[in-house]
Amino acid sequence: MNCADVLVIGGGIAGMSAAAALAGHARVVVLEAEQAVGYHSSGRSATYYHFGIGNRAVRAMTAFSREFFEQPPVDFADQPFCRPTPALFVARPSMVEALAALEAEMQLFTDTIERIDEKGMLAMVPVLKTGGDDIVKGVVDYGGRRLDADRLLQAYARRVKYGKGDTVIGARVAGIDYKAGLWQVTTERGQQFAAPVLINAAGAWADHVAGLAGVRPLGLEPKRRTVIMFDPPNGIDASEWPFVKAAVDDFYMIPESGRILASPVDEVDSPPTDAQPEEYDLALAAWKVEEYTTMTVPRIQHRWAGLRSFVPDRVPTAGFAPDADGFFWLAGQGGYGLQTAPAMAAIVSALVTGGSWPEGLAAFGLTPDQVLPDRLVGREVSV
């Protein structure tokens, strides 16, 4: 039996950032089912930081996390985890009200917002379809940032190691028992681990892990999202284009390694699985590109899908389960896991160690009751 103070199930950005935050306080062991950390959702993200997704709680976490990305602690990283990349939010005539509401929400958390006309949008992205029934209004956030997700994940992994913690890959959980004040975890390979605190950061599998532990599920809803990558038109350099997103969440695109990455922002119900793109969703992504721009997608160069998991109110959840001593939920990050990781790590550290709620989060209006799993108790849940 390998004993620790804290066991973390899940080596995605949520689990690794939480483990890194606790490594200075306790002996931490991370159990990752796959052969590498960040294999599922964390490795299939657009890796972009912006205020155009989520609700107010998510935006508060995003705002809190900005300083960490731009000025990480000197003992954590020697350069920022991000680079400036503006975000352009666009609207057709039917989306103008939605864009105005989005602008008002974003302005609560950043002062880098500016309205932009059709001429200005075309100067930024010359392939946009504008005027008439096409794009007529835009809002640009010059505070948008492209995140280096892999470097961030590896930095968290190093912090766990330097804190004398361990990350065990290929450690898929087969059984969980609670005995004599310890959570005892057995993997499919027969490895055994025990700790008084068990953090469930298993992403789309978090309700399944809870079931193994005899803990009431949260009602997580995994949703599949599809992304395509294609070449820009001949003679067009798209490398300096901003992140472009429709106000009604049905399209985004961003330059990526000389190509263009695009998604229909789909949310397709899915069981927890190694998500793969389906033909209809690939066709939808290509059609959305052609609907919002003058580009065509004659050939998809690369494609993938990932799962985004939500609890019913779509607020990332962190806290001890009300029905199980020492069982800690860290789930429901949706598509916000990367851009909220520093905030969620600070929350986990405070709640697990009994420390003070982070002042920065309180300043942005986020309180413990918004993230604790207690708020979800009593809801009807089906799994």
What percent of the chain is modeled with pLDDT above 90? 90
What's the mean pLDDT in 193-205? 97
How far apart CA 78 and CA 372 sit, in angstroms, is 33
The pLDDT assigned to 380 comes to 45
Residue 192's pLDDT band (boundaries 50, 70, 90)? very high
Average pLDDT of the segment spanning 275-288: 96
The yes-or-no verdict on residue 333 having pLDDT over 70 is: yes
Q: Average pLDDT for residues 43-67, to the nearest whole number? A: 88
Q: Which of 33, 20, 24, 21 is nearest to 272 (CA)?
A: 33
User: Strand 173-179 vs strand 182-187: parallel, antiparallel, or unpaired?
Assistant: antiparallel
Q: Please provide the distance, in angstroms rounded to a whole number, between the alpha carbons at the two ends of the chain.
A: 31
Phi-psi group of 190: left, alpha or beta (phi > 0 → left; psi -120 to 50 → alpha; rest → beta) = left
The architecture that CATH gives domain 86-143+221-308 is 2-Layer Sandwich (3.30)
Contact (Cβ atoms closer than 8 angstroms) between residue 85 and residue 255: no
> Which two three-digit tokens encode residue 225?
């999202």
Asked if residues 266 and 227 have their Cβ atoms less than 8 Å apart, the reply is no
pLDDT digits (tens, 9 = 90+) for 204-263: 999 999 999 999 999 999 999 999 999 999 999 999 999 999 999 999 999 998 999 999
Higher confidence at residue 66 or residue 38?
66
Q: What is the pLDDT of residue 22?
A: 97
Q: What is the pLDDT of residue 378?
A: 55
Measuring CA to CA, which residue among 186, 93, 184 is closest to residue 131? 93
Outline which parts of the chain fall under CATH 3.50.50.60. Answer: 2-47+149-220+313-375
pLDDT (0 to 100) of residue 215: 97
What string of DSSP letters covers 65-126?
A: HHHHHHS--TTT-SS-SEEE--EEEEE-GGGHHHHHHHHHHHTTT-S-EEEE-HHHHHHH-T
Euclidean distance between CA atoms 25 and 44, whole angstroms: 31
Higher-confidence residue: 377 or 259? 259
Residue 35 has pLDDT above 90, yes or no: no
Rounded mean pLDDT of 171-180? 96
Across the chain, how many H-helices and E-strands are there? 10, 22
pLDDT, tens only, 314-329: 999 999 999 999 999 9
Q: Where in the chain is the domain with CATH 3.30.9.10?
A: 86-143+221-308
Q: Is residue 379 over pLDDT 60?
A: no
Angle at CA 284, nearest 5°, toward 281 and 290?
A: 150
The mean pLDDT value of the chain amounts to 94
Q: What is the pLDDT of residue 45?
A: 61
> Following DSSP, what letter does each residue of 238-255 receive, concatenated?
-TTPPEEEETTSS-EEEE
CA distance 188 to 175: 8
Residue 381's pLDDT is what?
Answer: 39
CA distances from 216 to 114, 146, 179, 202, 210 (A): 45, 37, 18, 15, 7
Residue 346 CA to residue 326 CA, distance in Å, equals: 18
Give CATH superfamily name and number for 2-47+149-220+313-375.
FAD/NAD(P)-binding domain (3.50.50.60)
According to DSSP, the β-strands at 113-116 and 137-141 are: antiparallel
